[in-house]
Structure formats: structure tokens, C-alpha cells
Structure 1
Amino acid sequence: MQVAMVSIFVEDPSKAFEYYTQTLGFEEVMYSPENYIAIIKSPLGDGDTTILLEPTQPNGIQVAIDYKKKLYEMGIPVITFKAADIYKTVEELKEKGVKFKKDPIQTDYGFEAIFDDANGNYIQLIQLNSF
């Protein structure tokens, strides 16, 4: 088996779609704002894994709203993205206005940083050591 799609709960899929494509550089797979559907993919890699920007509004499922809110309050990232050069990527994102909760730090497995996606989520960015 292989991961085909993952979801990130967002408050506003149109705002999130713009942020993820224009600011973070993801590519459109499907975008239907009138139906609250926004699916994106990374421009890197094989492109087989997509991300559904899953709306919590309007008429969202309460458990999803609560889950998203609690993770944000606890400072827990909802997904992890990989960078080849984390310091370069962080600088490029900061120049685009991305707000970082945690600047890059070294870990046992490489480097990590955490940023706010401007839609109520924290995203972890990692650069893995070569094994």
C-alpha cells in the first residue's frame, strides 16, 4: 500500500488553498471553492500523495473543530513536510511572511522547525540526516 491522500483541517479552504499554493509553493490538483474542495500536491517527488484541505466551516463536524483547536492550543503540528535545506527553506518562507513558532534546531534525526499555516495549524518542517 501507499499513501494516496491526507487531510488537513482548515477553517477556510479558499484561504488555505491560496496560502498553500502561493506562499508554500504546492500545486493545484483540484479546486472547487463553491463545493469547499481544495486538493494540492507537492511540486517535488512523485506527486502521488495529495493533501485535501478539509473545511471545518461552514457546518463543520464538531469533533473535527475541537480536534483542530486543541492541537493548535497544544502547539502540536498536524503534518510534517521535508526540506532538502531547512535553513534556506525557512529563510525563503520568512521572506514570504510565514510566521515560525520554532526556528530550525538540530535533533537526533536532523533538523526541525515549526510554522503557522495562517489557518489554525502548526506545520513541522524537517531535514533528515543521511542514513
Structure 2
Amino acid sequence: MRIKLNSIMVEDQTRALTFYTEVLGFKKKSDFPVGEYRWITVVSPEGPDDLELVLEPNANPAAKTFQQAMFAQGIPLTAFEVSDLKAEFARLKEHQVAFTQEPTPMGPVMIAVFSDTCGNLIQLYQPL
């Protein structure tokens, strides 16, 4: 058994694809229609090509409630590892990314949290 797909709910799939590729730097792997929505996946240019993040449409009312509650509580829905958090923080700030937490040491890691513009908080972390 292995992890192949991980999903994140997004309010707008087109906006999410733009943010995750043009701002975060992931590469689009899949994008095709599935009913009224799309199956969109992105991959990291630094990682294995078969570990995909699915940009899921947030059409389920229960999912919307969960997403909004997590955002309101300041809880990130996923985390991405970076090798130089301060440099990544500076790069993303240049793209007008809104951070809710600047790089902060937390035990064995340094973390930062930002909004993905699609209803989620995302944590970046760097092992120390």
C-alpha cells in the first residue's frame, strides 16, 4: 500500500490551478472534465511524479462547513516541506501571498502558514 493521491478541497478549481502552479510552482499533471467539475492534479517539481495533489471541488455542504471552520480556527489543511523557509516566505510575499503566520521555530521545525486563496490555510515547514 502507498499514498498516491491526496486531496484538498478548493472553492474554485480554476483559481486553485493558477495559484498552485503559477504561485506555488507545482506542475499540472491532470486536467479533464468529470461531470460539471474537473479532475485536476498537480505534482511537485522536486518530488516523485506519481505523488499527486488533487484540487477537489468543494461542492458538498458538509465539506464547505468543515473547510470554513478549519480556516476560522487557523488550522492548516495540509503542509508542504521546503528546504529554505525564509527564502520561500520572501518569494511568496513577492507574489502577494497572505501569511497568517510568519516563519516561526516550533521544536524540530520552522513553520509558516498562508492562505491559498481557495478557502484553505496551508502550512510550510522546514526541518531544522
Q: 1:14 matched to which residue of 2?
A: 14
Structure 1 residue ranges (4+ consecutive) displaced by more than 6 angstroms after TM superposition: none
Offset of residue 97 of structure 1: 1.2
Q: How many pairs are equivalent?
A: 126
Offset of residue 28 of structure 1: 0.5
Provide the TM-score with structure 2 as the length reference: 0.93
**For residues 82 and 107 of structure 1, what CA distance do their matches in structure 2 show?**
14
Offset of residue 47 of structure 1: 2.3
Q: 1:42 matched to which residue of 2?
A: 44
Q: 2:2 matched to which residue of 1?
A: 2
Q: 1:26 matched to which residue of 2?
A: 26
**For residues 126 and 2 of structure 2, what CA distance do their matches in structure 1 show?**
22
**For residues 32 and 22 of structure 1, what CA distance do their matches in structure 2 show?**
19
Provide the identity percentage. 33
- Checking the alignment, whether the CA contact within 8 Å between 1:14 and 1:36 is kept in structure 2 is no
AA aligned to 2:55 is L
Q: 1:67 matched to which residue of 2?
A: 66
**For residues 110 and 49 of structure 2, what CA distance do their matches in structure 1 show?**
24
The CA RMSD over aligned residues, in Å, is 1.2
Provide the TM-score with structure 1 as the length reference: 0.91
Q: Unaligned 5+ residue runs, structure 2?
A: none
Q: 2:53 matched to which residue of 1?
A: 51
**For residues 98 and 63 of structure 1, what CA distance do their matches in structure 2 show?**
27
- Checking the alignment, whether the CA contact within 8 Å between 2:37 and 2:57 is kept in structure 1 is no
Q: 2:100 matched to which residue of 1?
A: 101
